[in-house]
Structure 1
């Protein structure tokens, strides 16, 4: 029985060394495992993690946006959105200026924000397509209604 723990460690060591996923993990992901046994270490680790990130549960998009040259513009935009939602105000109207400033900043840093700018352009193009489809469908309905009306008028004239 005394040999089994050492065999387990020998068996596990190569697996861990060859596991590139664990080697490439950021140090922050490994810290909670070290802190599990000691509550004092856990609170220190949590404080350090909070220092690295603005908010503990912050989304990946927010972290990405703050990672580039537009951190201040994005933070101002984020605060405006939160205030608008909290006060039940019109977000578009209230945050128009900070949104414009953020977009200009992103366009000034295309090397970093290019994926977001491309996604925004694609979404805008898709919205235009949908709007055109709706207009075409509405126009088609109007033409069909007019044709139907004209057909009923002409059939009424034949009866008379």
Structure 2
């Protein structure tokens, strides 16, 4: 057996280096743009920096943003009690307002006491109350106009007849 000629091997390797990989020969060139970490399957920087979560937080991971916000302030216990009450009422097909009046009141008081944190929710609640109030006032006005119109029509009918 003869040993391979180093010059031949080197020139052979060199020609392979200059050859395009099979995928590039077909017209596919590698993209030079940065890949999206989600697409590439690699974790992003934020995930790498997150501290390990405690079991209680993992439990809440599937919860809505509102629930997480409510539990993030000083009224976590009140909110959890309200949540349980609402779930029980729904499960037993009971009236939520009647059944949960006390825990709702407790939650509302707690939120008022921690208004610095719960201000966005309290503001949204006040705006919704104002909207309902305006709609009710508008409905009352329409009802009065309807009554006046009916009275006018009756008076006109009576005057004719």
* Fold in common (TM above 0.5): yes
> What CA distance in whole angstroms lies between the structure 2 residues aligned with 1:148 and 1:90?
43
**SS across alignment from 1:12:** coil
Structure 2 residue 155 is matched with structure 1 residue 150: yes
The match for 2:119 is 114
Runs of 4+ aligned residues of structure 1 deviating over 6 Å after TM superposition are none
**What residue number does 1:12 align with?**
34
Map 1:6-155 to 2 at 5 A: 8=32, 12=34, 23=45, 25=46, 27=47, 51-155=56-160
CA distance in 2, matches of 1:12, 1:66: 38
Shift of 1:50: 6.0
**Which structure 1 segments of 5+ residues have no match?**
17-21, 31-44
In the aligned structure 1, how far is the partner of 2:98 from the partner of 2:59? 26
Instruction: Mark the CA change 1:64 to 1:151 in structure 2 (over 3 Å): closer, same or farther.
Output: same
Paired residue for 2:11? none
Separation (CA, whole Å) in 1 of partners of 2:137 and 2:59: 41
Q: Whose helix proportion is higher, 1 or 2?
A: 1
Secondary structure of 2:143's counterpart equals helix
TM-score, normalised to structure 2, is 0.69
Shift in CA distance, 150/50, structure 1 to aligned 2, threshold 3 Å: farther
Larger Rg: 2
TM-score, structure 1 as length reference: 0.69
Please list every run of 5 or more consecutive structure 2 residues that lacks an aligned counterpart in the other structure: 1-19, 22-28, 38-43
Measured after TM superposition, the shift of residue 52 of structure 1 is 1.5
Deviation at 1:54, TM superposition (A): 3.5
Superposed displacement of residue 128, structure 1: 0.4
Distance 2:95 2:56 in 1: 32
